[in-house]
Structure 1
Amino acid sequence: MDLSKSMEDDKDKLAALGNLLATTMENITSNFRLGFGSFVDKVVMPYVSTVPEKLKEPCTGCAPPYGFKNHMPLSLNTQEFEKQVKAARVSGNLDAPEGGFDAMMQAIVCHEAIEWRKKSRKMLVFSTDSGFHYAGDGKLGGIIKPNDGQCHLDEQGNYIMSIYQDYPSLSQINVEVKKHKVNVIFAVTGDQLSIYKRLSEHLEGSTAGKLEKDSSNVVELVKDQYSKITSSVKLQDNVNNDFIEIKYFSSCLGDKRENTNECKGLKVGDNVTFEARIEIKKCPENQTAWNQTVQIYPVGLNEALIIDLQIICECMCEKPWNEEKNSDKCTHGNGTYACGTCSCNEGRSGNKCECDSKDIDLTTDEARCIFGNDTKPCTGRGICHCGVCECFQRQNPEETVTGRFCECDNFSCDRYEGEICSGPSHGKCECGECECLPGWKGSACECKDSVETCIAPDSDQICSGHGDCKCGICECFESEDQRYSGRYCEECPTCPGLCEDLKECVQCLVFESGPLSDEECKNCSFIPEEVSEAEVKEPEQRLCVFRDDDDCKFKFVYTLDENNKPLVWAERTKDCPEPINILAIVLGVIGGIVLVGLALLLIWKLLTTIHDRREFAKFEKERQMAKWDTGENPIYKQATTTFKNPTYGGRP
C-alpha cells in the first residue's frame, strides 16, 4: 500500500476492512493468508526533501520517509493485520509518482521474508492514488546502479538498497511475476485507472480495478478480481523466436473447438482440455539452437509442461557418399537407397520401387487409397503403393495403425489420468474409440456405470437431491442465491437457510411473543427444545440470531432430520438491553441547563466587573495627569472688570 500523505484516510479504512476481507476470502478458499507492506519513495532529492527537519517529519504528524517496509508477513491472524495497518504512519514526499516498483519487486522475490508458500496462488494487491517511477528515473537522484532483482530486506523488513540502486523496469517485474507465478491486482483511484490498465496489459496475470477514494470497496474489488483470475485458465509458453510456433486449441466448456489459449467462466470441478501444436517454421542458422526446452504453463500457477525439443535439420544418411545407387534393397535395383528409403528411377514407384509407373495410372491408384472425404492418401498415416495402403510403423511396438486406408489405430482414444481408455481394466481402444468393459462408461471409460458413489452413507438421495451424478461424481446445482458444494452436494454456505422460516414459531412457542396468533402458533410443525445456551455442536447444525421489537436478541440452533423436518434448540432467555432511566435523564438535563445558566451568569458578572474596573482605572489615570482643575482655570475671566481712576487720590 502507498502510505504517502494523500492515502491517510485509505489506511484507516483498510485496517477496518481487514476482518471483512479475511472472512470474504475464506468463503472462497480455506487456505487464505494476509500480509501487509507499504512504500513511499527513495529518500534522496528530488523525490523527498532532505532538509534535516523534513527527514524527521516531512509533514505534520508524519513518519520519516522510507522506500519499502514489510510490516507483516503472510499470516492467518487478521487481528494482527488490523493492528499493523493502524500502527503504520503515513509519510510524505515531493513529487507525484511513488516508488511502487521497488515495493513490488521486493514483495515478489523475498519469499522467506514475505513467507510465500511454494504451491499457493500468490496475489499482490497494489493500492495507490499516484503514478510510479521506473528504471532510469533514479538518475535524477544520482542513482545509476541498475536494479538487480534480488531481495534486500533486513530483519525489520526494511528495503536497504533503496538509495543505492535504480527502480526496476517493467520487463524486470514481468520476468519475476512469470517466474514466481504472482497475480497482481492494481487497486487504484479513478484518475489513475487508465494508466494502470495499460500497465496490466504488459504484466502477465495482472488486472486493474477502480478503488474508491477511501478504499471502502477494496474487499469487493479483491473478491471480483480474484474470481476473474480463478475462473479462467490461460496457457502461455516461453518461445521467443521466429522458427518455433505453438498454436493452442480447446473447446473449453462448449462443443465448438477453437483456436484459443484461454478458457473463461470456469468453476471448481470443471475440466478443460487443451491441445498444443508445435510447428518448426524453419531451421535455425545457429546449430546450438537446434535443441530447445519449451515450457507450456498456466498463468498464475506453479505448474508447467516441459518439452525437450530436438530440431532435426540434417541427416548424415542424406550425404551423397552414403547413397547406394541401383541398390539391391530396391526391387531389381530400380532405385537409390538412402536413409532407409528407395528413391525410384524414372518409370518406377512404390516403397521398394516395385511398381511399374508406365503400366499404371497414378491418379487412379492414388484415388483408391483415399478414405471418404479425406484429401491425403492413406489418411496421411501411410503410403499408397500401387493402389494399396501400407501403414507407417510406430516407434512404440504396442501402437499400431490399421485399416484399409490406415484410418484406425489403438493409441488416439481419449485418455484419463494418462492412460488410454483409463487402462486395460476399464476398456480398450478400437479404431480411435474406447470400447468399455461392463460396469464402465464415458469417452475414456473413466466413469462407473452406477450412482452408488453419489449417494451419501446416511441418505438414499442422489447428490442429496441438490445435483446430478455424472461419472460417479456429484455435479451440484447453482443459482443466483444458492450454490451447493461438497462431495454429495450436502453443503450450501450461500443458502439463506430456514432461519427466517423458523423465527416466528420460536418467538411464540418459547417467548410467547411475535406476530403469530395463538391459533397460528399451534400450527407450527415443530416444538423447540429450550436450552441454557444455543450453540453449534455438529457440522450440519446452523445458528440463527435475531432481534425482536423490544430490541432483545434471541438465538436458536436448528438441523434437519432424515425426513427433512427441523429439529430446533432455542436459548430460553433473551439478551435485552438495560432499560432507560428517563427520570435521571430529565433531572440531568434540567440540572445541566441550570448549571450552564449559572455559569453563564457568573461569567457575565465577572466580565462586567473587569470592564468597569478598567474604565475607572483609566479615568483615575487621566485625572492625575491633568494640570488644572475647575478652581484654577487659567483662561477663566470674571464677568465684571474693575479700572482704577488715576486722578482719584483716595480721598473721599
Structure 2
Amino acid sequence: MEKCKISSEAKLCSGRGICKCGQCECQNGFSGNYCEYDDNSCPKPNDQLCFGHGRCIRGQCTCDLGYSGKDCSCKMDDKDCYAPYSTEVCSGKGQCICGACVCDTKKGKNETYSGVFCDSCDDCVAARCKELGNYAYCNYIHRDNKAICDRDEGSKVSNIIVEFANKSEINGPKLYMATRCMKDLETNNGSVMIFKYRYINRDLKITIQEEFESPPIANIWNFIRSNVTCRLSSPKGYTELHLHSTALNALGVSLYCYLPYTGFNSRVCVTTKKFSKNRKKPFSSAIICPTWELNPRPVAVLSAIGLVLLIGILTVIIWKILVDMHDKKEYKKFKDEALAAGYDVSPSVNPVYQDPCMNFSNPVYNNQCTT
C-alpha cells in the first residue's frame, strides 16, 4: 500500500484513485504515478484547455501537431501570415511568429511597418496595387463567375471578397478609408480601371468601379493619395513640387499639388505616362514614389522671416530697457555710498585736471616790442 503514496503522510493515490497491486488507478481527470496531477489545471486561454489544440497530461499541455507553447496557442504554420493574393510572408516586411506578423523596422527610420500583414505604408501601396491589378481585371471580365479567376490561385484567394460600385459610390464616404488603385488597360483605348481595397479582419475586400475612365490629357497625375491633387499648371493655392526622380525630370514638366496638410518633404506616389502624339495610347508608364521637396509658398516664407525678425527686435529692446534700469539702480547705490563716506560725487572739475590748451603772447606782434 505504501507504494501508492507519494509520501508517508499522503493519502493513497492522493485521494484520487485506488491502489491495486501497488499501482494507482486514477479517476478520470487525474494522472501521474500517484494521481497527483489534475488534468484540468493546464492553461485555458479563451476558456479552452490548452487553447483547444492539445491535451493536459501530468499538469502540462501536450500540443497537437502544428502548435507549440505552454498553452498550445502558438501556431507553427505561417499560412495566416500571407496577405490575400500575396506570395510573401508578411508582405516581405515582417516575420511570422505564432501565426501572426511581427513587422520590421523601416530602414533608416525609428518606426515600424504596420497592418495585419505589414503592408500599411506609402511605399507598399504601388506594389500592392500592381499585385492585385490582374486579379481585379479578371473579376471585371468574369463579373458573374469569380470561380474562373480563383481557379488557379488556390489558397491565395480563399478569403477575398469582390464587389462592384459605380463612380459616385467608390468615391463616397463608405469607401473613403479604402486604398485607391488603378490599372492601365492598354487594349481598351488606353482606359484605366479604378478599384479600391481594404481589409475586414483578415479578409480582403476589393471594390471595382463599374465604369472605365479615360486617360488624362496630362502625362503626370496622382492616384495613390486620394487627398492630394496635382496639376501641370499653377492654380491659386497650389504649391510647386520639385521632383527628385530621373524618370519624372525626364518628362520636362513642373508639377503643382495641393496638400491639405503642412510640412515639407512630403511623400507622394504618382503615376507617370507618356502618350503618343494623338494622346490615345500610352507607350510607357511607371508608378514612382519619390521624396518630394516641397517649395514653401512665398507668403508663408516672408511671414515666417518677418515674425523671426520682429521677435528679435523686441527682444533687443526689452534687453536694453532692463540694462538701463539696472545701471540706473547701481549708480544711485554707488552715489549714496560715496556721499555717506564723505566724497563729493556731484559733477565738478577734477583738481588734477590740466587744460591741454595754452595761450602765448608774441611780444613783437604789431610792433609792440620794446627795446
TM-score normalised according to structure 2 size: 0.32
User: Which of structures 1 and 2 has the bigger CA Rg?
Assistant: 1
- Structure with larger RCO (C-alpha < 8 A, sep 6+): 2
TM-score normalised according to structure 1 size: 0.19
